[in-house]
């Protein structure tokens, strides 16, 4: 076995973690339900209140995971928020990009998804630049963890009225649909085309450490169907409905970053069922730092 520790970066030995005896790898999805027993409480300020498993405290919840924001910088240049004038930007500490839309109990439970999302952002930024750790060529994620992290981000932005579908059209007073919560907890039957799409057009890649979020919506309406996260120029689209996205791969098994001297690979584990043979490969231009 070429890996001393598991590709999921848990620190465990591969065969005791995600490596299988047949040479394949599979990372189990994270558990993110609150610790039993159920509380029977429904906090009016928590977007997961219908679960009746809240506590009495509401907490600050980052629009995007705190650790993911800090993987870019501790102070960020932000734009597109309803509290900014259209076309303007402002330097804001990552610690201030918060809203109060989750109770403490659910916020703590969903921290497992935040940790995976932040790890993914770090690895995409590192793998696509000259700062790629020479000792780490292959890392492993569970694809459902990433989809659920995208959906958690989507729910938080909607619940806090922080998404704009255009420079002058804000989605306000959105009440999260029970179907979105069911998607988060895996209570909706899987359908091809609903989930993570990765754009393959290399022309979209920039050379900056950046992280941006934008809604997927139908012009002329406030009907939203997902979220696009752009990490360093790479588009990751999460759709809440089955769609086809041009120049993109649905639920790829690998993301490959071909550097001048080696290949860095991000592997994605998906649930048993239809195979996910497609991969996405980008070539490093030598411009990013």
Q: In whole numbers, what is the pLDDT of the chain averaged over residues? A: 84
Within-domain flag for 222:
yes
Q: How many C-beta atoms surround the C-beta of residue 90 within 10 A?
A: 12
Characterise 206 by phi-psi region: left (phi > 0), alpha (psi -120 to 50), beta (else): beta
Segment 232-242, tens digit of pLDDT: 888 999 999 89
For residue 285, name the pLDDT band (cuts at 50, 70, 90): low
pLDDT number for residue 220: 62
Segment 162-183, tens digit of pLDDT: 776 665 555 544 445 688 899 9
Cα(177)–Cα(189) distance, integer angstroms? 16
Report the candidate in 108, 112, 116, 72 with the shortest Cα–Cα distance to residue 92: 72
**151 phi and psi angles, rounded to 5 deg:** -65, -40
Within-domain flag for 2:
no
DSSP state at residue 70:
H
| pTM for the structure as a whole | 0.90
Within-domain flag for 39:
no
Within-domain flag for 123:
yes
Cα(11)–Cα(151) distance, integer angstroms? 27
Within-domain flag for 288:
no
Q: Which residues contact 183 (CB under 8 A, 6 or more apart)?
A: 151, 240
Residue 25 has pLDDT above 90, yes or no: yes
Range of the domain at 202: 46-283
Task: Pick the range with the lowest mean pLDDT from 33-37, 83-87, 130-134, 257-261.
Answer: 130-134
Within-domain flag for 30:
no
How many domains, the chain? 1
Within-domain flag for 228:
yes
For residue 188, what are its two tokens? 């909706």
pLDDT number for residue 216: 84
Residue 11 has pLDDT above 90, yes or no: yes
Within-domain flag for 78:
yes
């Amino acid at each position: 076995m070429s890996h001393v520790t598991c590709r999921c970066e848990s620190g465990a030995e591969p065969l005791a973690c995600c490596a299988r005896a047949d040479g394949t790898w599979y990372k189990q999805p994270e558990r993110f339900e609150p610790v039993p027993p159920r509380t029977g409480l429904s906090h009016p300020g928590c977007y997961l209140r219908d679960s009746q498993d809240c506590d009495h405290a509401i907490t600050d919840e980052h629009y995007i995971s705190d650790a993911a924001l800090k993987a870019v910088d501790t102070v960020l240049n932000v734009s597109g928020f309803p509290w900014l004038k259209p076309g303007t930007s402002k330097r804001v500490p990552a610690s201030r990009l918060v809203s109060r839309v989750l109770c403490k109990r659910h916020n703590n439970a969903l921290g497992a998804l935040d940790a995976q999302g932040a790890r993914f952002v770090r690895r995409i930024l590192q793998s696509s630049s000259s700062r790629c750790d020479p000792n780490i060529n292959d890392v492993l994620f569970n694809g459902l963890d990433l989809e659920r992290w995208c959906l958690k981000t989507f729910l938080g932005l909607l619940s806090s009225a922080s998404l704009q579908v255009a420079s002058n059209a804000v989605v306000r007073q959105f009440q999260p649909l029970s179907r979105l919560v069911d998607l988060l907890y895996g209570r909706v039957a899987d359908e091809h085309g609903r989930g993570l799409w990765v754009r393959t057009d290399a022309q979209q890649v920039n050379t900056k450490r950046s992280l941006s979020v934008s809604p997927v919506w139908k012009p002329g309406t406030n009907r939203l169907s997902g979220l696009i996260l752009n990490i360093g120029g790479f588009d990751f689209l999460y759709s809440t409905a089955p769609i086809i996205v041009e120049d993109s791969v649905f639920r790829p098994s690998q993301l490959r970053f071909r550097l001048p001297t080696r290949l860095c690979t991000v592997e994605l584990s998906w649930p048993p069922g239809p195979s996910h043979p497609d991969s996405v490969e980008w070539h490093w231009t030598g411009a990013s730092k």
